[in-house]
Amino acid sequence: MTFPKDFLWGGATAANQFEGGWNEDGKLDSTADHLTLGSRTSARRFTEDFEEGEVYPSHKASDFYHHYKEDIALLGELGLKMFRMSVNWTRIFPEGDEEKPNQEGIKFYRSVFTELKKYNIEPLVTISHYEMPFCLSKKYDGWYSRELIGFYLKYCKVLFTEYKGLVKYWLTFNEINSGILEGDAYFSQGIYSSKHKDMGAGTTGLNAEEMEAYKRSLQDDLKKQYQAMHHMLVASAEAVQMGHSIDPEYRIGCMIAGICQYPYTCHPEDMLLIQRERRNVFFYCSDIMVRGEYPHYSRRFFREHDICIRMEEGDAEILKNGTVDFYSFSYYSTGCVSSQPAGETTEGNLIFGVKNPYLETSQWGWQIDPRGLRYFLGEIYDRYRIPMMVVENGLGQHDVLEEDGTVHDPYRIEYMKKHIEAMSEAIEDGVDLIGYTPWGIIDLAAASTGEMAKRYGVIYVDADDHGNGTYNRYRKDSFFWYRDVIAKGRKTE
Ligand code: BG6
């Protein structure tokens, strides 16, 4: 296997799925804190008030808030070079529009970053990962309001100045392109007016006619989502410029949901469809964030979907001057698109697609495709030619904690091994891949369902979906295997 000596071997988490301590030390509720536990077959629900007896997975999550020293020591033992984590916006600005930040929140992350430094682990900080102050969502309709740009930049300024010297790598938004997917308006952009529709939650019990009306309302939401996305892209570009001016050493990247799809057949209609899909859902945001301008194909898309984005003077220049330093994405699985009604469908990260007959699926129905990772790394690098990171990848699976504290997870080792081999091939192909942070390196709550049972980690957390358990940490077999890979990887030229 070929990996450069300074390759950033890592692991990834996100505050709302991992940190817990949701209302401690001045923190207030975030958009994520209002989502209940769901499952593969029942969508998570938004609730305005917290219902007695209902589970809200982000409230305790894996309780990193009270375990961070022990967790970071384990990551040190694993030999990690990079730890991807996010800051809970509500820990720094509990309401989002107040003047002064919450000092307790600032102190917490300083302790975390200092602890990481002790083990020579570089943090990769996602500034906003599927959460924002609930107050900003309710009062302003989230990112639909242009005012959010100012609140976000105020928050960024605190992070960039407070943690100068402790953090070098930043991501402005997690999976920013998820914001333009149908039914992700609240989850991804905090759009309060769409709060009951996320992840299919709004479809329960609708008859055919109501279903049609519901679909039409999603189309209207899409217009709002594109406007919100414009605000996020401007905010991101401004944050990049601000970060560079505060510390020229900062490396600030985009983070794209790897909606990686193939044409189902070689029919020319399928080829045209895949081109359109890739552009519209996969490349749209990164084309703007890497190249600094709206892509040529967006004009036709906007015209056909009756989308008219309100831009202000100076926005184009901001986008131009705030391009990112590196590209990062999540990669779990692939699916197919077909211009004709075709076969079975498959689940996957954020979207459903047509099943690929050549691939196996995980317990949660996501198709496993390591060779696709090599292919997509090549495609993306051809397009952008900037350094790349795979900042999420992994197998969400049930694990069994044995009585002696071991967890045997050969399936995860197999998954990671094949994906690491694919990355090695991509590097051989010439891709400038600088880091890999597999998802949920320590078990955490799933984003789509809120389940703890869907485990990704090489470190097991003894907690179930309902928050029962000791919350003790255990090394899985994959822990020792990954530790070896990292140790060997470092020695390879
Ligand atoms: C990505 C998100 O969509 O996929 C993560 O950035 C998420 O937050 C991950 O956890 C895996 O999805 P899930 O639903 O299995 O947790």
Q: Ligand 1 in contact with 131 (CB < 6 A)?
A: no
> Residues 198-215: pLDDT tens digits?
666 667 677 888 888 888
Q: What is the pLDDT of residue 353?
A: 87
Tell me which residue has tokens 């300024």: 157
Name the closest-CA residue to atom 16, ligand 1: 446
> Who's near 266: CB < 8 A, 6+ residues apart?
none
Of 221, 131, 152, give the one whose Cα is nearest residue 180: 221
Name the closest-CA residue to atom 3, ligand 1: 349
Q: Ligand 1 in contact with 448 (CB < 6 A)?
A: yes
Separation of 247 CA from ligand 1 center, angstroms? 31
Query: Using CA atoms, how far apart are residues 211 and 255, in angstroms rounded to an integer?
Result: 33
Q: Ligand 1 in contact with 330 (CB < 6 A)?
A: yes
- For residue 209, CA distances in Å to 43, 127, 193, 203, 220 come to 21, 41, 22, 12, 17
> Residues 319-360: pLDDT tens digits?
999 999 999 999 999 999 999 987 788 888 777 889 999 999
Of 19, 347, 392, 451, which is the active-site residue? 392
User: What is the number of residues in the chain?
Assistant: 493
Answer whether residue 84 shows pLDDT above 50: yes
Residue from 349, 452, 455 whose mutation best tests the ligand 1 pocket (most atoms within 8 A of CB)? 349
Q: What is the pLDDT of residue 183?
A: 84
The chain-wide mean pLDDT, for the chain, equals 95
Cβ atoms of residues 355 and 261 within 8 Å: no
Of 325, 317, 262, 259, give the one whose Cα is nearest residue 293: 317
Give strand ranges (E) for 95-213.
122-126, 169-171
Q: Ligand 1 in contact with 393 (CB < 6 A)?
A: no
Q: What is the pLDDT of residue 200?
A: 65
Q: Ligand 1 in contact with 122 (CB < 6 A)?
A: no
Separation of 450 CA from ligand 1 center, angstroms? 10
Residue from 172, 259, 392 whose mutation best tests the ligand 1 pocket (most atoms within 8 A of CB)? 392
Answer whether residue 492 shows pLDDT above 60: no
**Mean per-residue pLDDT for 465-492?**
91
Query: What region does 484 belong to: left with phi over 0, alpha with psi -120 to 50, or beta?
Result: alpha
Cβ atoms of residues 62 and 444 within 8 Å: yes
Residue from 347, 363, 439, 451 whose mutation best tests the ligand 1 pocket (most atoms within 8 A of CB)? 439
Q: Ligand 1 in contact with 439 (CB < 6 A)?
A: yes
Query: Would you call 347 a catalytic residue per the annotation?
Result: no
- State percent of the chain over pLDDT 70: 98
Model confidence band, residue 491 (pLDDT cutoffs 50, 70, 90): very low
Name the closest-CA residue to atom 7, ligand 1: 447
Name the closest-CA residue to atom 9, ligand 1: 447
Query: Using CA atoms, how far apart are residues 377 and 146, in angstroms rounded to an integer?
Result: 34
> Residues 288-329: pLDDT tens digits?
999 999 999 999 999 999 999 999 999 999 999 999 999 999
> Residues 222-272: pLDDT tens digits?
999 999 999 999 999 999 999 999 999 999 999 999 999 999 999 999 999
> Residues 7-57: pLDDT tens digits?
999 999 999 999 999 999 999 999 999 999 999 889 899 999 999 999 999
Separation of 437 CA from ligand 1 center, angstroms? 13
Of 379, 361, 354, give the one whose Cα is nearest residue 278: 379
Query: Would you call 269 a catalytic residue per the annotation?
Result: no
Cβ atoms of residues 426 and 377 within 8 Å: yes
Atom of ligand 1 nearest to the CA of 366: 15
Separation of 312 CA from ligand 1 center, angstroms? 33
Q: Ligand 1 in contact with 256 (CB < 6 A)?
A: no
Q: What is the pLDDT of residue 201?
A: 66
Has this prediction a pTM greater than 0.85?
yes
**Mean per-residue pLDDT for 461-467?**
98
Of 19, 175, 347, 425, which is the active-site residue? 175
Name the closest-CA residue to atom 8, ligand 1: 447
Name the closest-CA residue to atom 2, ligand 1: 447
Cβ atoms of residues 12 and 392 within 8 Å: yes
Atom of ligand 1 nearest to the CA of 454: 15
Q: Ligand 1 in contact with 121 (CB < 6 A)?
A: no
Separation of 314 CA from ligand 1 center, angstroms? 35
Name the closest-CA residue to atom 15, ligand 1: 446
Separation of 41 CA from ligand 1 center, angstroms? 16
Separation of 53 CA from ligand 1 center, angstroms? 25
